[in-house]
Structure 1
Amino acid sequence: MLDALESEIHFIKSLKPTICLEIGSGSGIVLTGLAKCLGSCCAYYFNIDINPRAAQLRLERVDFVEEQSCHVIPQVMSPSGVFYLLIVKENDEEDILNVMKSFSWRSSVIIERKAGREFLKVLKFECVKMQTSVND
């Protein structure tokens, strides 16, 4: 995930973000790396993670968490906000893309690779309304 964000760092800086939030932060290495790259460009950095006991249920809950996040994020994001989502092969990518499209968010794949036994993909979402107004 960190290398995907590093490849996007100029774009992220151009947005002049006020808040960077990492959901499912684990050790916090991604948010720490992002903070080092952005420096004082961003005013606030936050991370959220589920408790350790819930982490054991991660595989059974992944669809629930994914579904809830995809419905909430567009409602709380700035119209010029961007978010990146790390998914594994077992996630329902098509469903995620359809939900986000229904909220007028455009998606693109930043990076995909195999890491050990997992197939990982980083998706980028941008509000289509923001893109339209920028280009007009």
Structure 2
Amino acid sequence: METPIVKLSNKDLDTVYEPSEDSFLLIDALEADLETFKSQKSQLCLEIGSGSGIVITALAAALKKYNGAYFCAIDLNPNACKVTKETSIANSTNIDVIQMDLTNNIYARGIFDIILFNPPYVVTESLEVLDERLISKTWAGGKEGREVMERLFENIPKLLSDNGYFYLVVIKENDPEYIIQIFKDLDMKGEVVMDRKVRGEHLHILRFKKTGQN
């Protein structure tokens, strides 16, 4: 998978998360599973909190000539939505971009073959999660760094297709094994598929699928 071209102005950087090691590690994890996506003919792909759009665009560029898949990106930040669309166009992909808070306004059930989420995971005070500054919402994760991501978890089994995969970026402080147990209670199997230590963070990519899936 090629890394997409992303152009962020100084104004964009005031509110939009700049692609970093967590973004690149998630792309690497998707690349490792690319043949699986092709063989399963993954059709509907969703990124939650797309930021610059680098990850969903990389996936769209890799799959567009194989599966005729549909790609959708959502973000709470209107500026991130704008940048994601610009990134998609600059890299000759077609991604629908919708402004919303997590998946609050998605009612379709069991249809997404790939769901991606690089959440705000930094451990902070709970009040920082409520900070109105858009850039703060890209990193402030609250207690254990899980306050934002845990709002989403119970919706994932409802949104994911029977053969679908959910990818989640976390750090060691989020307690990956605890998160895997949360999903086990939701009848989903999870594992660490990739990890990397960078600048004082130990990043993990967790991949989940429904129990009973091969």
With normalisation by structure 2, the TM-score equals: 0.56
Alignment of 1:11-22 (within 5 A): 11-22=36-47
Sequence identity (%): 39
**Helix, strand or coil: the match of 1:130?**
coil
Structure 1 residues 60, 122: closer, same or farther in 2, change over 3 A?
A: closer
Count of aligned pairs: 131
Structure 1 residues 42 and 90, CA, compared in 2 at 3 Å: closer, same or farther? farther
* Bigger Rg, structure 1 or 2: 2
Report the Cα offset of residue 47 of structure 1: 1.1
Aligned mate of 2:55, from 30, 34, 44 = 30
Q: Does 1:56 align with 2:139?
A: no
Q: Which residue does 2:72 correspond to in 1?
A: 46
For residues 55 and 75 of structure 1, what CA distance do their matches in structure 2 show? 29
| Mapped contact 2:163–2:209 kept (Cα < 8 A) | yes
CA RMSD of aligned residues (A): 1.8
In the other structure, the counterpart of 1:77 is: 160
More helix by share: 1
The superposition leaves residues 35-90 of structure 1 with CA deviations (integer Å, 9 ceiling, x where unpaired) of 11111414211112232734414324441222122111112211111111111122
Matched, 1:116 2:142: no
Structure 1 residue 21: deviation in Å? 0.7
The unaligned stretches of length 5 or more in structure 1 are 132-136
State the distance in 2 between where 1:76 and 1:84 align.
13
